[in-house]
Structure 1
Amino acid sequence: MAVTLADVAARAGVSAATVSRVLNGNYPVAGATRSRVLRAVEELEYVVNGPASALAAATSDLVGVLVNDVADPFFGIMASAVQSAMSPEGTGTAPRKMAIVCNTGGSPERELMYLTLLQRQRAAAVVLTGGAVEDPEHIAALRARLRRMADAGTTVVLCGRPPLPPAGDGTGPDGAGTPAPVAVTFDNSGGAKRLTQHLLSLGHRRMGYLAGPVARTTTRHRLEGHLAALAAAGLKEDTGRLTVYGAYDRSSGYDGTLELLRRDPDLTAVLAANDTVALGACAALRDRGLRIPEDVSVTGFDDLPFAVDAAPALTTVRIPLYEAGARAGRLALGTEDPPPGGVATVRAELMVRASSAPPRSPAR
């Protein structure tokens, strides 16, 4: 027997109208109430059919692209590339599908909500970009949602995040035999390791690290690469003290750098979790009267378009974001065959520029 709106309302202990408001997102609902409703939706596996409800097995012409922040070039470049795959340039043909960019703001709850709405519209495909939240409850909810979408005919592609952890017997994202989503992953750990090795080769030994948000796969993998390079060089004792977590934005880079200088005024290098954070780090160092790279070297990650035009030009790690996004788009459309094993790893390339140089004096 099909699950109804009333069933969800009864499970969540709210009215049917409140459930409708949560699912439609057209009226303010308290956060705790919204969470209860979404939990009931997950537990009951409730799906609201969209305009094509009479065609249960059909899919629409929509492709959902989920990003943390569309204003962040990291996500904007990938979203643009996915959309370009809908209608390749120079073909003169109409778009194969219509890409809809969904801005989650980094909220796990909003990520699930957008997937609910896309499932309701029977999206042909969904591309989830950027790192994943490392929370067991969210992972379980995400796994269940993607399994239901795949079973309904929606193609799911991950871009810039690792494969979804298997569950149960490991045969699929839910352990029930459903194939795991295809993943275009980034070599975040390897890139960070090469970046730290570069600074070590220049003679740096007192390095601070500006990490991203806690409990994000991108944050963990980049930090792991950094720590692996330090461990190989016999430098372990100050890694915890000289690591500061924050958002992937300029203000976190600025504030985090001031905190690193408070913890160790003799730092000779600052490694930032991404290029935007690195800009904030450079501003903080300049405000403290320190020169880059003469006094302190600074590095970023991603090689966003502004990195080469920064003053000085930013040493960073290049991830071919546009190429990765375009590939994810083709995989979503089915115009490119999935990679062996369903996972393609995009290599990260070290880009040495003017913001890194040997330390001003031998490390003490």
Structure 2
Amino acid sequence: MRKRVTLKDVAAALGVHVSTVSRALDPKTRHLITPEVAEQVVAASERLGYRPNAAAYSLKTNRTRTIGVIVPDITNPVFPPIFRGADDALMRHSYIAILGNTDSSLRREAAIVDTLLARGVEGLIMASVTANDSVVGRLAQEGLPMVTVNRRVDDAGIASVAHDEREGVRRILTHLASLGHRRIAAIAGPQDLSTGRSRHQAFLEYRAAMGLAEDDGLVVFAGGFTDAEGERCAEELLARDRGFTALVCANDLLAIGAIAALRRRRLSCPEDVSVTGYNDMPLADRLFPPLTTIRVEQYRAGHAAADLLIEMLAERSGSAEPAPARHIVLPVEMVIRGSTQALPAVSVARGRAKA
């Protein structure tokens, strides 16, 4: 087996002291030596195949340069771009991302967090949180650097990166109202999640402001952001027979399930019911019909969350007092496709199938 190349080997090849090599290979101390020597050290380390010893670095500095990224469901198309954005940003700062998947279980989230902390992660990016997340509350008390992404907790002292949910819902309702729809149903997301709660609150507010039908029977709450829940909720709405002509879904997966339920009842989208989603997940434009939805920038959100966490870590290592928690709100974009159309070409949806 080939012996691992060490700092001593690089130093011996150049005839310099080990401390010179160490300083040259650390971006934070490279300025302490001349540029010419630094270039020679870097070139020699690459030629010899030197790799830093992460375990030794951790023991010396008490830092692992690892960050935990926790998501609720890696099979949900929303979350892989978030992780990729965070991973790319962390790599730029020589950090490694470790992915944890909670399956939307608070118990599993707690177990994953404990495992990551035992491995010495320096901070967490959390896309799995609920509004009153006990795990996050405990971590905040312990002072662990942490950023929530795509979701928020009720504690304003926890930094976050989210999207402008209210503006997204306003654009959806404005679009549907402009097409003549007045009785608009909704499949709301889980109310213990900030995304589900904020989108539902915005729906109620803008529905009233636009003079649309305010009928509590037009709203059903999903237990999760899944296509199966979309089917169940759409079936419940149809069984209520409230005569809606459009259906606002709190995310794209719910919309996919809702359209499947409409088809099973021999109702067409958009001819019988216009349907909208939220997130613009990958391949939403390839569905039949292509889905009208709100585009959110998942990759950008993950990238921004990682950048924010790196800033927090830098503040902790410095002498200055940590700044108050920052909350970044990213813009959204309306994407109009074939799942919505004007009311004159729409027949009112009933709870019974077509004859």
Asked whether 1:108 is paired with 2:102, we answer no
- Of residues 270, 285, 297 in structure 1, which corresponds to 2:262? 285
Give, in whole Å, the separation in 2 of the partners of 1:250 and 1:203.
Answer: 27
Give, in whole Å, the separation in 1 of the partners of 2:116 and 2:158.
Answer: 16
Asked whether 1:142 is paired with 2:136, we answer yes
1:99: Cα distance to partner? 1.0
Which residue of the partner structure matches residue 148 of structure 2? 158
Contact map agreement 2:131 2:154 (CA 8 A) in 1: no
Give, in whole Å, the separation in 2 of the partners of 1:56 and 1:82.
Answer: 26
Give, in whole Å, the separation in 2 of the partners of 1:209 and 1:113.
Answer: 35
Asked whether 1:245 is paired with 2:235, we answer no
Change in CA separation of 1:300 and 1:241 when aligned onto 2, cut-off 3 Å: closer
Contact map agreement 1:203 1:362 (CA 8 A) in 2: no
One-letter amino acid of the counterpart of residue 142, structure 1 = V
1:125: Cα distance to partner? 2.1
One-letter amino acid of the counterpart of residue 62, structure 2 = A
What SS does the aligned partner of 1:210 have?
strand
Change in CA separation of 1:204 and 1:148 when aligned onto 2, cut-off 3 Å: same
Q: Where in structure 2 are the equivalents of 1:33-182 lying within 5 Å? A: 58-88=62-92, 96-130=94-128, 132-135=129-132, 138-139=133-134, 141-150=135-144, 155-162=145-152, 164-166=154-156, 180-182=157-159
What SS does the aligned partner of 1:87 have?
helix
Contact map agreement 1:66 1:101 (CA 8 A) in 2: yes
What SS does the aligned partner of 1:123 have?
coil
Which residue of the partner structure matches residue 46 of structure 2? none
Change in CA separation of 1:356 and 1:201 when aligned onto 2, cut-off 3 Å: same
Contact map agreement 2:65 2:121 (CA 8 A) in 1: yes
1:358: Cα distance to partner? 1.3
Contact map agreement 2:82 2:302 (CA 8 A) in 1: yes
What SS does the aligned partner of 2:192 have?
coil
| Structure 1, gaps ≥5 residues long | 1-50, 89-94, 167-179
Asked whether 1:322 is paired with 2:312, we answer no
What SS does the aligned partner of 2:216 have?
coil
For residues 142-177 of structure 1, what are the alpha-carbon distances to aligned partners after superposition, in whole Å with 9 as ceiling and x for unaligned? Answer: 223233143xxxx312211236515xxxxxxxxxxx
Give, in whole Å, the separation in 1 of the partners of 2:237 and 2:59.
Answer: 58
1:118: Cα distance to partner? 2.1
Which residue of the partner structure matches residue 332 of structure 2? 348
What SS does the aligned partner of 2:78 have?
helix
Change in CA separation of 1:241 and 1:208 when aligned onto 2, cut-off 3 Å: closer
Q: Where in structure 2 are the equivalents of 1:303-318 lying within 5 Å? A: 303-318=280-295
One-letter amino acid of the counterpart of residue 58, structure 1 = N
Give, in whole Å, the separation in 1 of the partners of 2:210 and 2:96.
Answer: 50
Identical-residue share of aligned pairs (%): 32
One-letter amino acid of the counterpart of residue 128, structure 1 = M
TM-score normalised per structure 2: 0.73
Compute the RMSD of aligned alpha carbons: 2.9
Give, in whole Å, the separation in 2 of the partners of 1:160 and 1:346.
Answer: 10
TM-score normalised per structure 1: 0.71
1:361: Cα distance to partner? 5.5
Give, in whole Å, the separation in 1 of the partners of 2:213 and 2:139.
Answer: 41
1:297: Cα distance to partner? 0.3
Give, in whole Å, the separation in 1 of the partners of 2:244 and 2:314.
Answer: 48
For residues 299-319 of structure 1, what are the alpha-carbon distances to aligned partners after superposition, in whole Å with 9 as ceiling and x for unaligned? Answer: 000011111111111110011
For residues 268-295 of structure 1, what are the alpha-carbon distances to aligned partners after superposition, in whole Å with 9 as ceiling and x for unaligned? Answer: 1111111111111111112211121111
Give, in whole Å, the separation in 1 of the partners of 2:118 and 2:165.
Answer: 34
Contact map agreement 1:331 1:337 (CA 8 A) in 2: no
Give, in whole Å, the separation in 2 of the partners of 1:354 and 1:361.
Answer: 13
